[in-house]
Structure formats: structure tokens, C-alpha cells
Structure 1
Amino acid sequence: MADFKVGEVPSLSLAFLGDAIYAVHIRTHLLREKPRLKPEELHREANLWVSARAQSRALLHLRKGSLLTEEEWEIAKRARNKSSATRAKNASIQEYRNASGIEALIGYLDLTENQERVEALMREIIKEGRVHNG
């Protein structure tokens, strides 16, 4: 893997990884906050947090709050622009694209071994998400 260059990884491949990492953070949060929920209830709760609409809200919150560096915003924007014209059910095309942006950013940060930044962004996303998801 000495030849690996994260800059050569396509944005939507970063989103593929970021989606999984994002979901793990949300699931971990839910287990800590609601340890007695049954798996099917946890699944329903997690879906509220990892939906394209919720992820879009998360990206816009981070951007509005000036919580992203310019480099991070560029990574997210690149993925938003590459995202397909199709959309997730129950989400607009713009929400779907924003969701791809936050996922790509999380994937990029993970591949560049910037776990502290992933943790910081996910803490902020979860803090903000409590307002919308309970």
C-alpha cells in the first residue's frame, strides 16, 4: 500500500467508506444513549440519523457554523458535485448530494488517519442531531 494516494480515490468511493463510518458513530451513540432499545428500535432510530435528509442537515450545520476548514468544505463540495442525479427515497436531489458530501469528508478524514477530526465532527453532528432526532 506504499503507492496509495488518498487524493486519487474518487469522491464517491470516499463517500462509500464515510457512510459506514458515519453509521458506526451513530449506532455507537444510540447504544450509549438508549442501551435498552431492541435491535429493531435501534435500527429505526439509526435510520433517522443516517438518512440523506439528516446527513444533509449535518453538512449544512457544519458549514453554517464555520466548523469546516476550507479544505474540508472543498472535499465535501467535490463529492456533492459528483453525486448522481438520482436521489434517495424521501430526500431531494440536493439533500442526497449533501449527504454524499458529508460521507466523502468523513471517508477522507478516516483514510488520512485524522480520527480526532472525525470524532470532533461526529460529536458536533450528534449534538445538533439531538435537536432534530430527539
Structure 2
Amino acid sequence: MEDFLEKLQENQSKKVQEVRAIPPLVLAYIGDAIFEVYVRNHLITQTKMLVGAYHRDAIGYVKAQSQATIVRTLEAELSEEEWRVIKKGRNQKPATVPKNADLMDYKYATGFEALIGYLFYMGKTERLMEVMSRSMEILDKR
């Protein structure tokens, strides 16, 4: 586990040009995992329920439609740099689209996940936490 944590710290200290060279879908791949863990922790710290219920509720937060809602709601709060990352992720051609997701929602969700990955690798932990916290506020109001 210590090796894993050391690797995370190494990855977060990448230079700006190294992070900008990471393909958007790779940023989205790690962003998806980070957001999933954040959502699970959010649910566990907010409520007490069975694991199956946690899983069901987590799906409601991480599905493409929810992430697209986050992006559309946060748009005015994002910097130009953050919006650029979202657009790069959004504009990638997906290999597949989940059967229960609208294509545009899926693209915006990919952009959102790319932003999460980007903030993580840039070491912008405070901003990463702000974005994810705001995301929970947006989705909890539904």
C-alpha cells in the first residue's frame, strides 16, 4: 500500500507539459476512478445503509446523465483552462456508448472525468476537492 501511495504522490508532481500531454481519455480513465471513490465516501459518511443500497445510490451519482448535469451547472464556475480540458475530453470519439446513456451526456461525462484526472495529476488537490464537493451539492439537490 505504501508503494501505491508513493506512486500517487509521484504522479501528482508531474510537470505541466507532461500532464497536458496525457490523452484526454486517459485523464478520464483515472478521473472516473477518483470520482467513484469520492462518491462512495460521500454516501458512506452521509448515510447508513446496506452495501447494495450504497451501490445503487452511487450509480445515480456517477452515471453519464448526472455528470453531464454537473458540467452544465458548473460551466460558469470553471476557469478557461478547466473548460478547455472538459472540451478536449468531450470531443474524443468514444469506442462505445453505454446503452442507457445519451451520446451528448456521455461526451460531457467524459469531459468531466478528464477534468477530475487533470486536476489530480496537476496536483491541484484543493480545486479538485472544490469541484467534487460542488458536484455533490448539485446532485444532492435533485
Question: If the length of structure 2 is used for normalisation, what is the TM-score?
Answer: 0.86
Deviations 1:53-78 (A, max 9, x none): 11111111111xx1100110000001
CA contact (8 A) 1:83 1:100 kept: no
**Offset of residue 85 of structure 1:** 6.2
Are 1:93 and 2:103 an aligned pair? yes
3-state DSSP class of the match of 2:141?
helix
Percent identical among aligned pairs is 36
Are 1:45 and 2:63 an aligned pair? no
- Measured in 2, the distance between the counterparts of 1:84 and 1:14 equals 14
3-state DSSP class of the match of 1:90?
coil
Are 1:15 and 2:25 an aligned pair? no
CA contact (8 A) 1:86 1:93 kept: no
**Offset of residue 7 of structure 1:** 1.2
CA contact (8 A) 2:29 2:113 kept: yes
1:47-62 pair list within 5 angstroms: 47-62=59-74
- Measured in 2, the distance between the counterparts of 1:92 and 1:68 equals 23
Change over 3 Å in CA distance of 1:51–1:107 after alignment to 2: same
Change over 3 Å in CA distance of 1:38–1:82 after alignment to 2: same
Match of 1:129 in 2: 139
Question: If the length of structure 1 is used for normalisation, what is the TM-score?
Answer: 0.91
